[in-house]
Amino acid sequence: MLLPEPVTLYFDKWCVVMNSVDTDIVGNIHAFESFGLVDGPGVRYVIFLKGCKMRCKYCHNPDTWSGEGEKWTAQELWNKVRRYKNYWKNNGGITVSGGEPLLQMDFVTSLFSLAKREGISTALDTAGQPFRNDPEWLERFRKLSEVTDLFILDLKEMDSAGHTKLTGVDNSNILEMGRWLSEHGKKMWIRHVLVPGITDDEKDLLLMRKYIDSLATVEKVEILPYHTLGVVKWAESGMDYPLQGVPVPTDEETERAKSLLGI
């Protein structure tokens, strides 16, 4: 089904201009969380998509790496999600996470367009790895940004070599994405997973603080203490867990990291 083009929708003090959006586009879904409290403001319905190109050594959802999942159209998914609308009140809404949701960017744009048609808050939880500075990709990303109220950007490390060792990919395009969001006035939360001996280096955290301070639209910075809840999923997937024996951070280590990031 195609939404009419163009359609201008007004909600309170803002508007969204929706171009033609294919609500029959199919996405690969991993899981749902109907009462999320940490993935954006208020109560959120969280949709976890399949597919990720990064191979983070501490990933707690390696079962999302494969792109194959339960298939839903954007319209079918919105019909399911909107039933929880009464829980969201004024500051809740929906969050799409992963895996890496930018690998299914057009699907997310369609889903968020349906949400914005009813004035629902939208948030995207992303590591930014698919970001590309080419006109075709950026145009699709711009359309997504028009219907996304909040970007939750996960920063792994600032050092390029360290980032590659930890995740398997460079981070230059991820940092570029943060700058693009800032330059285009898109609200952001920044998250950093704190892993003792790996992502807690003082120099790197200070570089991260400098980078975050250079962004004009960051509303919140969060430290997520490393945990081992995903170890069983590595075993179920037949993979050796690469951080075996690495401890979770102490409260003191977490507070130190927060201080270095200026939280």
Between strands 121-126 and 150-154, the pairing is parallel
Please name every residue paired with 10 in a beta bridge, in sequence order, or none if there are none.
15
Residue 237 has what pLDDT?
A: 86
Neighbours of 182 (CB within 10 A): 17
User: Under CATH, what is the fold of the domain 24-260?
Assistant: TIM Barrel (3.20.20)
* Mean pLDDT of successive 10-residue stretches along the chain, which has 263 residues: 44 44 92 92 96 94 89 97 90 95 98 96 97 96 98 97 96 98 98 96 97 98 92 90 94 97 93
Residue 90 has what pLDDT?
A: 82
Helix (H, G, I), strand (E, B) or coil at 58: coil
Residue 204's contacts (CB-CB under 8 Å, 6 or more residues apart) are 157, 158, 159, 162
Residue 211 has what pLDDT?
A: 98
Q: Where are the domains of the chain?
A: 24-260
Angle at 82 between CA 152 and CA 60, to 5 degrees: 40
